[in-house]
Every structure is written in C-alpha cells, then in structure tokens.
Amino acid sequence: MTNSSRRTLPPTIIIIFGASGDLTARKLVPALFNLGIDDLLPKNFHLIGFGRKCISDDVFRDKLKNSLKDYSRRTVQDEIWSKMEPHLSFHAGEYDDLDAFVSLKEKIDSIQADLNESAQCIFYLSTPPSGFLPILDNLGNSGLARLHQNTAAASKVIVEKPFGRDLQSARELNQVINRRFSESQVFRIDHYLGKETVQSLLVQRFANSIFEPVWNRNYVSCVQITVAEDLGVGSRAGYYDRSGAMRDMIQNHVMQLLALTTMEPPSSLDPEAIRDEKVKALQGIKPLSLDDSHAEVVRGVYTEGLVAGEKAIGYLEEKDVPSASYTETYTALCLQLDNWRWKGVPFYIRSGKRLRQKVSEIVVQFTRPPAILFGKNSKQPLSPNLLTIRIQPDEGVSLSLNSKTPGLETKLQPVNLSFGYDTTFGSNTPEAYERLILDAMAGDGTLFIRGDEAEQSWGLLSPVLDSWQALGKQGLESYSAGTWGPLAADKLLLNRGHEWITK
C-alpha cells in the first residue's frame, strides 16, 4: 500500500460509463473533488462522462457541482472547482455502438494533443452488469483498451460489483475482461476495502507484536464477522430480489474481510504478494455442509416488526417484491479453514437487512484462561478477551479485558480499551472511494479484487445458492424486523459452544 503523498501520477483521463447514475453523483465526483482539495489529482486531469442521454458539457458540469453540494464531505471550494470545471465534459452514445467509442477515442486523442504527451485512460464501469460486455468489447474494438500498452500510461478499467452472479458467470466475466485487458490493468472495486479500518487491519495484525503470536488456533476460540443494516430494501427491491444477502454482501464485502483476517503474512507490501495470500486463505475454506443434521448455513427473511421504535413492514410487503419471493434478506454461515493456522476455529459470518442496528465489525474471541485462580464461581466469571475491529458506523478498535471491580471482594468485570478514528484522528476521514480511485490512478491493486479471488469466493458459495434455488421457500427462516435475525442463526453458534456477540 503505497504512501499516496509521495506518488507522481501521469496525466489522467477518467471516463465514467453511467455518468448520470447515483454512484457518480454520490461517490465518484465527490471523491475526485476531495482529491483535488488535497492536491492529489494528477497535474493534467480530465473527466469524461459517457451516457446514453445527450446533454451539453455545461449541463453536465452543473449537475456535478450540485452533487458536490449534496454529497461532498467538504464544502465546495471555488478555487478547486474553477480548476476542475474546464476539464469536465460529456460524451453521448450507446454502449453497444462502436461509432460512439471511435468518436470517444477521437476526443481522447484531441486532449492528448493539447497536452502534448500521453495520458493514461481509466475506464470506470459504473453501469448495471448488463452494460459490462458491450462496453468491454467496444473498448477493445475501438483500440481504447490498448492505448499506450506496456508504458506507465497504459489504459486501466475499474469494474464495480457484482462480479457475476455465480461461479460460471464470474468466469465468463473474467474471460471477457481478459480478452481486452491484462490482469494488471483491471481494478475490481469493493468500496469496503477502502475503509480506513479495513486498511488498518493488516497494520493491527502485522505491526503489533502482541497480536501476531496469538492470531491462530491455539489462542482464538472463534471469529465473528457482522455486516448488519437496520434499513429495509427501500427503492432497491427490484435489484435486491434478484440478489439477496448472499450475493449483495457476503460474496464480496464479507469474504474480503474474512480473507484479510485469515491470510498469512505476505512477503512484502507489494499488491500481488498481498493478493496471493488472500487467495490462499480463500482456498483453505472447507466446502459448506448443507446437511440438516450439521448445517453450516442459515437463511432468513424479515417480517413485520419494530425498528428504533417505529413499525416496519415485512420484506414481502415491500414495493416491487413478488409475493412468491424466496429471496433471503439474512444469511449466516459457519466457515472452517483447513489449514495449519486456523484448523478447528469456526468463523461465523452474518449479514442482513432490518436488523437491530447498523454495524459492520470483526470480533476475534480469544480462548478463556484456565479457571484455576479465577472463574470458579459466579462471583468471578471469566469473560473471553475480545478484539473488536469496528468498520462502521464508528470506525475504531477495542480490546476487552477482565478487571477487578473496586471493593473488598474479588469480583471480575470486562472492561474495554478502545480508540476511535474520529476522536483520535479527527472526524473528516477520507471516503473509501477517494483512496480507491487514487490507488487505481497509481496502478496499485492492493485494495482491489483479483479475478481468481472472485472465482474462489463464488466457488464456495455457488453450491449453496444452487441448493436454495432448488429448495425454494423450504428452509427459509423468518425473523422480526428490528431483531438480530432468525433463531436458527443463534442455534448455529450454540450448537458449537458459542453465541453471537452483540452490543
């Protein structure tokens, strides 16, 4: 992970496909603007929005400025905007129209002629997956994918998730990408990997000697990874019903957190060294058991309930959700890694909507010490030591220890040693997309997903999805909105001697 303050970036042209979409307005343009405030954009930087609707450059610029007012973490600075504005333009065309890409290349050639030097082109696919294939093919057919090959200004492509719907479609997508780009040119983006706490996970593990010696089966009882949302599907029901919790969150966000938690120390901070170890970690996961007698998978759907004291409708009552839907809004898994470091340690992961609160965290539960001096009776209960890495909403790290309470009797109580990013480093933390876009411009793939990573993850989860497809509603548990999920998810842990750690 390169020190971004020391990077020298080549002239860069970012072309955003789907430039009229929410992602561009809410995340991409604010990220670029804040990089501009921090003087981290290349000296010569251009942004071209590519979309189907024909609009003028001025209209496009006004739209982007308004999005900054609504979504930027810092207020619009006229000095920075006045520098960026002349270099923002719009290019209209259909994704399957080769002529639109040929004319895009002519526009790019014109910009390079004005610069009198080569510029790297970064093609950002901020479209639904249906747009990936025609865009990638036309980038290849127009010659845009091969611009300045084998130089520092070689073209790059950023692909937003989802990276397929299952193993077969992930392989097909990778084949399409690799026909046009080499793997070093491809940046599969998962915004979770740009969050400060996720980036800090490797630092916590490998820069602190108190953790690495105990980060193994001898001292860890279990690991829990939670990505919970208190909101329902809202206006995304059409998309969500085709995806569900497994595809929407588990396959990408959660599996990446798992890989970073379980990977072996890389030989260096070289991006490929880190990604090699992540793949090895995923390769070590045993296939999930779907046998009812020892099931390692739970799925559920939320029903009517109370969230923060307000009545919430069930998933099947949400607008645009089919009445016959059996899409899961909650998934819990018990994963086992068949390797030397983690043999016998269960990894419990869960994600869902309409849960009690919004929280994303990794909790490492250490083994209890022998109950010889303490923990023999109820007055001296021994709580397990917990290392909690909080990813959102309040990013930080805490360590739970047992301590004696004040008084004449020896009574134990767990206490927390904690730090938060807001209180320690200030509240104006860079957004994940700022870091990720900056890394892509610098060609640093550390925080991006490699093609074999995506396939490895899908290879584990596709059999589960196939089984659910065959079962339909059979085995689909229910849980009230505002709770922590179905009872079966609690039993998943209780049957193995653990319970979910919740606030």
Whether 62 and 135 map to the same domain: the answer is yes
For the question of residue 148 being annotated catalytic, the response is no
Q: Identify whether the C-beta of residue 165 lies closer than 8 Å to the C-beta of residue 137.
A: no
Say how far apart CA 42 and CA 54 lie, in whole Å. Answer: 28
Whether 125 and 239 map to the same domain: the answer is no
Q: Does pLDDT of 7 surpass 70?
A: no
Tell me whether residue 177 is in a domain.
no
Tell me whether residue 179 is in a domain.
no
Q: Max Cα separation, the chain? A: 84
Whether 118 and 203 map to the same domain: the answer is no
Using omega within 30 degrees of 0 as the cis cutoff, is the peptide bond preceding 393 cis?
Answer: yes
Q: What CATH number is given to the structural domain containing 265?
A: 3.30.360.10
Whether 135 and 264 map to the same domain: the answer is no
Tell me whether residue 411 is in a domain.
no
pLDDT digits 0-9 by tens, 463-490: 999 999 999 999 999 999 999 999 999 9
* Beta strand residue intervals within 396-462, DSSP E: 396-404, 412-420
Last residue within a domain, chosen from 160, 180, 209: 160
Whether 156 and 201 map to the same domain: the answer is no
Strand pairing report for 120-125 and 156-160 = parallel
pLDDT at 1: 47
Residues 6+ apart with CB under 8 A from 92: 50, 51, 52, 53, 54, 55, 100
Whether 401 and 281 map to the same domain: the answer is yes
pLDDT at 376: 67
As a whole number, the mean pLDDT across the chain is 92
Give the residue-averaged pLDDT of 317-336.
Answer: 96
pLDDT at 278: 96
pLDDT at 150: 82
* % residues pLDDT > 70 (the chain): 96
376 vs 159 pLDDT, higher one: 159
Give the residue-averaged pLDDT of 232-237.
Answer: 88
pLDDT digits 0-9 by tens, 11-24: 999 999 999 889 99
Confidence band of 171 (pLDDT split at 50, 70, 90): very high
pLDDT digits 0-9 by tens, 368-417: 887 666 766 666 678 889 999 999 888 889 999 988 878 877 778 888 89
Count other Cβ atoms within 10 Å, centred on residue 22: 11
Global pTM reads 0.92
Tell me whether residue 301 is in a domain.
yes
Last residue within a domain, chosen from 140, 160, 180: 160
Whether 338 and 476 map to the same domain: the answer is yes
Q: What is the CA radius of gyration of the chain?
A: 24
pLDDT at 392: 86
Q: Does pLDDT of 290 surpass 90?
A: no
Whether 350 and 487 map to the same domain: the answer is yes
Confidence band of 6 (pLDDT split at 50, 70, 90): very low
Which domain, by its residues, includes 359? Answer: 193-380+393-406+427-432+451-494
Q: Which residues on neighbouring strands pair with residue 348, listed in sequence order? A: 224, 334
Main-chain dihedrals φ then ψ at residue 180, nearest 5 degrees: -110, -30
Amino acid at 303: T
pLDDT at 238: 85
Tell me whether residue 128 is in a domain.
yes
Q: Identify whether the C-beta of residue 248 lies closer than 8 Å to the C-beta of residue 332.
A: no
Tell me whether residue 37 is in a domain.
yes
Structure tokens at 172: 């097909």
Whether 398 and 314 map to the same domain: the answer is yes
Q: Find the length of the chain.
A: 503
Whether 119 and 203 map to the same domain: the answer is no
Tell me whether residue 487 is in a domain.
yes
Whether 55 and 135 map to the same domain: the answer is yes
Say how far apart CA 63 and CA 381 lie, in whole Å. Answer: 59
pLDDT at 368: 87
> Measured between alpha carbons, how far is residue 109 from residues 30, 115, 141, 210, 488 in Å?
27, 10, 16, 54, 59
User: Pick the catalytic residue: 87, 91, 253, 294?
Assistant: 253
Tell me whether residue 100 is in a domain.
yes
* Beta strand residue intervals within 5-162, DSSP E: 12-17, 45-51, 88-92, 120-125, 156-160
pLDDT at 294: 77
Whether 202 and 149 map to the same domain: the answer is no
Say how far apart CA 270 and CA 445 lie, in whole Å. Answer: 9
Number of domains in the chain: 2
Q: What CATH number is given to the structural domain containing 73?
A: 3.40.50.720
